[in-house]
Structure 1
Amino acid sequence: MSVTYKEITDSLYIPECIAMQKKVFGLSDVDIFPESYFSLLMRKQHPLGLVVGCFLDEDNKSELIGLTVLQNDRLPNSLYCLFIGILPEYQNKMYGYHLAKKVKDIAVSKGYVIMYGIYDPLEANLGKLYAYLGVTADTYINEPYKLNTDEVIVVDKVLFTWSLDDTKAFSNSAYLPKKTYKEAVNQYPIVGSLGIDAQTILIEIPGDYLDIKKTNHTLARKWRDNTRILFDNYINKNNYTIIDCLSGKTESERKTYYLLHKFKL
């Protein structure tokens, strides 16, 4: 068994790409990117973006187990990440990391220098973007509406930036010396309210938010409301940038924190 990572330009893979959206993200037929859109992304002359896949090769068969879809951004030489995902049964095996590395190599070879994207900051698994890739996030996006029901959980986003052409691309050591979980929680304040003025802070997020959303809407809504206040204040209003995500055990309980640093004093 081996794993390969490659750009997808053959339209024969489009049905698999469409199915991947449903398998990884649970999207409905209405929400998925259709066949016509993938055709525009994959066309040989003036493609709209990039499609890069992770393939599991076994017994003369090649199965698509991971996918990244990127669209040309309005800014020159930049890409916007529409989604990146690995099938659930293959997650936590570093396939996503190597897929991202391949995306970087392909993008740089085509002259791209920066990548943007958004994701839900409460999904801790995506925090690995910071630790492994050197991604940063300095914009928090509030969902513009909020329904008065515990059954509807607002999905806020952070806008991340990935510089592809410099030394930050695979390490955040360019920003701060790398800290272990234990070092960070002992050195930096854990912010639970407004008014903290330290240059580097920690904000807690749930390590299992996706499970919480399925089983406890009230708790999920509480996490969203509380962290929304903190992220909006420290990122949008006080110029903090997310540069890392750390998980570890505090006493007997596992905790997850974002590490934020204020560059503009």
Structure 2
Amino acid sequence: MSKDSRWQIFCKYCMITICLITAPSVAAAPQDAEKQSILLPEFLTYFDALDHETYSMRSEAHLKLSQAILDDAQIIHLFQNVGSYEQLHRLLQITRHWFIRSQIKPTSPDAKIKHGAIGMNFSQIASHQDPRIKHPAIQVTRTLPGFPAYQHIIPGDLIIAINHQPTNHGFNLQRFAQEIRNLKLDSVVTFDLLRKNQTLTRSITLSSYTQLTRIYPINTTPTGELAAPIESAWQMYRKQMLSHVSSDLWPQQ
């Protein structure tokens, strides 16, 4: 066989090899595009509603987006498309929730304390204080980003039943807190809520009480202030996300 023939065979072999190696990456591009087309658009309606003219629509969109699980590329996509200060403000709040949720560590199977946590502050309200209720209720005063309540409950909501048991006379803050403390990690608690004039039922899977006190360590009553290392990491992540906002809306430093 001549040298020219051998060289032609060698070149043909190399081209086949190169095609085989590069083929998967070429095929992967449509999959990535398909992923974005499937995952992002279902939340774009909620994203747009963050700037809705009515507060109730903005709040509902806020809750829906808080329940989403998006990767960094998809979050960046949202920041790149922010069109107003209201939308940016709410997106930052939701992104803080996403970020803190990512900091929750899995609980070891052999952990001795496996108490659940919902992540909210509350107070008691008497029936004479609100014409909508006929018995005492629990008013939610704060929900903590990163934890389950933030995804389902709006501050101001009234809890009128827990696991289908009304918060009637004799039900107080101590009893409510004890009901929650008695539940374990990954338990599901069902609340009947009064939001404005609408009654809603929400079933919420509890997170880890150990992680709650690790992330919000101020005494035993979380105030919304993060542990210093997590706050520092959040500020870095926040700055990174803001770098993708239009300079007309958020001038870069």
- Place the TM-score, normalised by the shorter chain, in its bin: under 0.3
TM (norm. structure 2) is: 0.27
Compare the two structures and name the one with the higher helix fraction: 2
